[in-house]
Amino acid sequence: MKMSKNYKRLCLVLGLSAVMGTGALAAKSGTETKQATYRNIQVTYNGAAQNLALEPFLIDGSVYVPLRAFGDIVGVSATWAPASNTVILTGGSSNSESEIAQLTYQNTLLQRQLQEANAKLSKYESGSSSNGSSTTTGTNITAAQLKETEEYLDSMYSDYFNKIDFDFSLTQTSSHLDLTISYSTRSENNAFNNTSEKNITKFIQKVCNDIAATHKDIEIQGVIEYSNDDQEKVSFTRSKAAKYSYNFAFDEDTLKDLIEEETDGSISLGSIGSVTISDTDVAIREVRSTVNVKLYLSISSDNVTKWSGFTTSQKRNAIKGQLESIQDALMERTSYDVNVMIYDRESNTIAQINSDGDLSYTN
């Protein structure tokens, strides 16, 4: 059974002392007591750290941020009307920080588009390629011409994603051009991991199209790599007919195969013995920084009851090492955070471990 992706939810609540102090949250009727967990959660807005009067907290895996404090950041007023049980939000002024940030972002995009347009305009005015050098056809390319193209790519795309400083290298074979796009620092790798595949493929197409405008009628084969860790992130090909193909370093099916190798298709639950994994669901978040793994076990109701009767220590001893082994295998392959969740056939939680190594059990 294919399950949908499990994304974390960001919930915004009014910063009321009763909620923050006791953890009692209003339900549809009456109240329900919840356990609030504080982890010194930090909030940033447009890259700037924010000091909130009330600290965010966790309840059942959801992050709760004081709505009034959040409103102050984005220029929105939040008030509570107890008589009508209503949260009242009032829009900020036209020069709020959020609008300024949005306009700044749009201005950056327009400047980049203008820079690209000017470069292409110079191509037509000079009767040469987009990088100012004479065009070539096929494999008849000199080292000096490749160097000029590399310098052009550096000037146009080295900071395309702002926080990533790309280096470009072009070499020629008897049949195609080899393009290596690389970066080297851990912070750049984190930024790349948080870039969607859609934006990465768009970036690759822009780069390759500019190369093809200079070096015509030749296939381009390339990679993007994290050079500090010798880690290939994505390989790609642009055919002579401008057809693209991509191969990201991993996908859901690849990670499922890794899990199968690591678990041999089963999970051991202590004295219950080995239980077959009936289904595996792997979800890579769109920004590709987190992998959520769901394993569904073919476990009988009697054994579910038996598992529920285990002490926390017994559960930890039975399953902790196995979950960590799955995490380690996937993290080594992807460099991303990995959360692993194990369920019975009714989708009830058996155990789960988050990327910080925290174990929890429902049954």
Count, residues in the chain: 363
Where residue 225 falls among pLDDT bands split at 50, 70, 90?
Answer: very high
CA separation for the pair 218, 177 (Å, rounded): 7
Check residue 170 and give its pLDDT.
96
Of 288 and 38, which is predicted with more confidence? 38
CA distance 277 to 296: 6
pLDDT at 38 over 60: yes
What is the model's pLDDT at position 7?
33
Contacts by 154-159 with C-beta closer than 8 Å and gap 24+? 156/115, 156/116, 156/119, 156/210, 157/203, 157/206, 157/207
C-alpha–C-alpha distance, residues 316 and 16, integer Å:
36
Quote the percentage of the chain above a pLDDT of 70. Answer: 82
Verdict on whether the full-model pTM lies above 0.85? no
Q: State how far the Cα of 171 lies from the Cα of 180, in Å rounded to an integer.
A: 9
Residue that is written with structure tokens 């051991």 in the block: 268
DSSP letters, 263-291, are: HTTEEE-GGG-EEEEEEEEEEE-TTSSEE
Q: Strand 86-90 vs strand 136-137: parallel, antiparallel, or unpaired?
A: unpaired
| Confidence tier at 129 by pLDDT (50, 70, 90) | low
pLDDT computed for residue 9 by the predictor: 35
Torsion of CA 101, 103, 105, 110, to 10 degrees: -170
Mean pLDDT, residues 258-264 taken together: 90
Residue 86 to residues 25, 30, 105, 316, 317: CA-CA distances in angstroms?
Answer: 15, 17, 34, 44, 48
pLDDT tens-digit map of 163-222: 899 999 999 999 999 999 999 998 898 888 778 788 899 999 999 999 999 999 999 999
Residue type, 277: I
Residue 18 clears pLDDT 50, i.e. is over it: no
What would the mean pLDDT of 255-282 be, rounded to a whole number? 91
> CA-CA distance, 71 to 63, in Å (whole number)?
16
Question: How far apart are alpha carbons 351 and 307 in whole angstroms?
Answer: 10
* pLDDT of res. 24: 45
Residue 23 has pLDDT above 60, yes or no: no
Has residue 318 got a pLDDT over 80? yes
**Residue 115, pLDDT score:** 76
3-state secondary structure of 32: strand
Question: pLDDT confidence of 27, banded at 50, 70, 90?
Answer: very low
Q: Strand 215-216 vs strand 136-137: parallel, antiparallel, or unpaired?
A: parallel
Question: Residue 35: how many CA atoms within 13 Å on its side-chain side?
Answer: 3
Percent of the chain topping pLDDT 90 = 39
**pLDDT score, position 2:** 32
